[in-house]
Amino acid sequence: MRITNWRLRLGRTLAVLVALTLVVAACGDDDSDEADGTGGEASSGEIQTDGFEDLGDVTLSVLAEAGDETTLARAKELFEEQYPNVTVEVTLRAFDDYMQIAPGILQSDDPPDIAHGNQGYTIDGLLVQGDLIIPLDDYAEVYGWEDAFGSGTLDQYRFNDEGTDFGNGRLWGVSAVAEFVGVYYNKEKLAAIGGELPTTFEEFEGLLADAAAAGEVPIQLGNAEGWPALHVYGMVQAAYRPAPEIRDWVFGEPGSTVVTDEELQAAETMVAWTENGYFPEGVNGIASDDSVAAFINGDGVFMIAGNWNTATLEEGMGDNVGYFAMPVGPSGVLGGTAALALPWHITSKSEHPDLGAAFIALMMDPSFAPELAELGRVPAQEVTVEIDGLLADVAAGANQVIEADGITLYADWTTDTMFNTLTAKTQELLGGQIDAAQYLDDVQADWEAFFAE
């Protein structure tokens, strides 16, 4: 389960200046993509990838989370141009609403042909368990998705056929959009404290101290919802612990634990930052939207947040805002909270799975990546895209993390209760209710309880 509004998408950014290459390297174990060949709904053998003109008048119904509105509008335009006999019918729902109703709609007698899911047990696991979606391995092979991404990157869309083992087994969804948490900074404020862009985590901490000494709010943060500080923790965690270990924990690999020295250092860093006044006072009582507004109004040197804030920040701050990936820390791996966007699924009851796959393939195609960038989204595959402004910073930062194999995914995917556990415990950690060791014990207790079953 993910959060309220972190998927608010980026707005429009003009595609003019900086050329940039995004290379999605393998992220995660490369051996985890073996299909086990059981179960049978997968379309076999002859997959139709073109020539849908012969279908006659057909409607392809799409159920999507509202953040994809502009992307879908563009894709629909292109697809209907290619196949005038096809009507793409899009239904959109806001994130919270979507996650509540989507499983029910997919289970109904007349589900859409393709629909969004969400990584982890609460949505994707449930859809697989209920046989509501079909595996996409054959389509991935035909359309070459694995090659474009590196198979490990797509592990976040894998489940065994029972929907009980996340990160392993067949591929059930895909998306071509990347979503990253990184560090936004106020250029004037950073210059005023005499700071330059940090190249190590230690330098970053030094800047925080300088900012505090100068009477600034070092890191703008509003944690009323519990998840914003979780994203900050994700960055500190990656500074101390190599990303592959963190991913193992998220995927529930046996023996994984957060009760380690590195995690303890990370959690204690969060406590120290709180005690040093690096976050605003009353951080647990500030709504995340309000903290973004405060940052735009010049309150805060840095803000650690997701790239879905890019358009809002650029609109509010113009050239005064920049972005960088959290610089490398003691872990030696440049990394942080990041993942691919909500997966596209093909429903089991769809009468035109090949047509649905073709529509998804259009959005996955490298030729669509410039469209994504123009819509303010970060394309997640090996393509050359021309973009400018803040989005160029964001894409460059994302690129660094991907190249370093530093994507740590979202910790709240780990178990069906982990979102609630992490949000509550992170608030307690920042509120001084529990210490760093207790925090890690409590989080691990949720993990153990889930994987003991």
Judged by CB under 8 A, does residue 433 bind other proteins? Answer: yes
| Residue 318: Cβ within 10 Å count | 11
Judged by CB under 8 A, does residue 425 bind other proteins? Answer: yes
Q: What separation in angstroms does the CA of 83 have from each of 47, 59, 358, 364, 450?
A: 17, 11, 11, 18, 47
Judged by CB under 8 A, does residue 377 bind other proteins? Answer: no
Closer residue to other proteins (CB): 96 or 386: 96
CA 40, chain centre distance (Å): 30
Give every CB contact of residue 194 below 8 A, 6+ residues apart in sequence: 210
Q: What separation in angstroms does the CA of 122 have from each of 2, 64, 128, 232, 348?
A: 10, 17, 11, 23, 19
Judged by CB under 8 A, does residue 274 bind other proteins? Answer: no
Judged by CB under 8 A, does residue 435 bind other proteins? Answer: no
Min dist CB 453 to other proteins, Å, is 11
Judged by CB under 8 A, does residue 325 bind other proteins? Answer: no
Pairing relation of β-strands 58-65 and 86-93?
Answer: parallel
Min dist CB 230 to other proteins, Å, is 12
Min dist CB 249 to other proteins, Å, is 19
Binding-site member from 126, 154, 211, 311 for other proteins (CB under 8 A): 126
Q: What separation in angstroms does the CA of 221 have from each of 36, 114, 277, 431?
A: 45, 36, 12, 14
Residue 88's DSSP bridge partners are: 60
Binding-site member from 117, 198, 280, 397 for other proteins (CB under 8 A): 280
Pairing relation of β-strands 158-159 and 302-306?
Answer: unpaired
Min dist CB 131 to other proteins, Å, is 9
Contact (Cβ atoms closer than 8 angstroms) between residue 313 and residue 306:
no
Binding-site member from 268, 388, 428, 435 for other proteins (CB under 8 A): 428
| Residue 251: Cβ within 10 Å count | 21
Judged by CB under 8 A, does residue 122 bind other proteins? Answer: yes
Stretch that binds other proteins, among 145-153, 206-214, 275-283, 339-347 (CB under 8 A): 275-283
**Residues 206 to 245: which contact other proteins by CB under 8 A?**
223-226
- Identify which of 322, 287, 317, 304 has the alpha carbon closest to the alpha carbon of residue 394: 322
Min dist CB 5 to other proteins, Å, is 13
Min dist CB 114 to other proteins, Å, is 18
Judged by CB under 8 A, does residue 104 bind other proteins? Answer: yes
Pairing relation of β-strands 18-22 and 383-387?
Answer: antiparallel
Judged by CB under 8 A, does residue 100 bind other proteins? Answer: yes
Binding-site member from 37, 144, 277, 285 for other proteins (CB under 8 A): 285
Min dist CB 122 to other proteins, Å, is 6
Closer residue to other proteins (CB): 76 or 170: 170
Judged by CB under 8 A, does residue 290 bind other proteins? Answer: yes
Judged by CB under 8 A, does residue 108 bind other proteins? Answer: no
81 HSE (CA, 13 A, CB side): 7
Binding-site member from 64, 221, 230, 283 for other proteins (CB under 8 A): 283
Stretch that binds other proteins, among 78-86, 129-137, 340-348, 403-411 (CB under 8 A): 129-137
By the 10 Å C-beta count (0-12 exposed, 13-18 middle, 19+ buried), 438 is classed as: middle
Closer residue to other proteins (CB): 125 or 150: 125
What is the dihedral angle through the alpha carbons of 409, 415, 416, 419, rounded to the nearest 10 degrees? Answer: -50
Contact (Cβ atoms closer than 8 angstroms) between residue 60 and residue 88:
yes
**Residue ranges binding other proteins (CB under 8 A):** 1, 99-100, 103-104, 107, 122, 126-127, 129-130, 132, 223-226, 280-287, 290, 416-417, 419-420, 423-425, 427-428, 431, 433
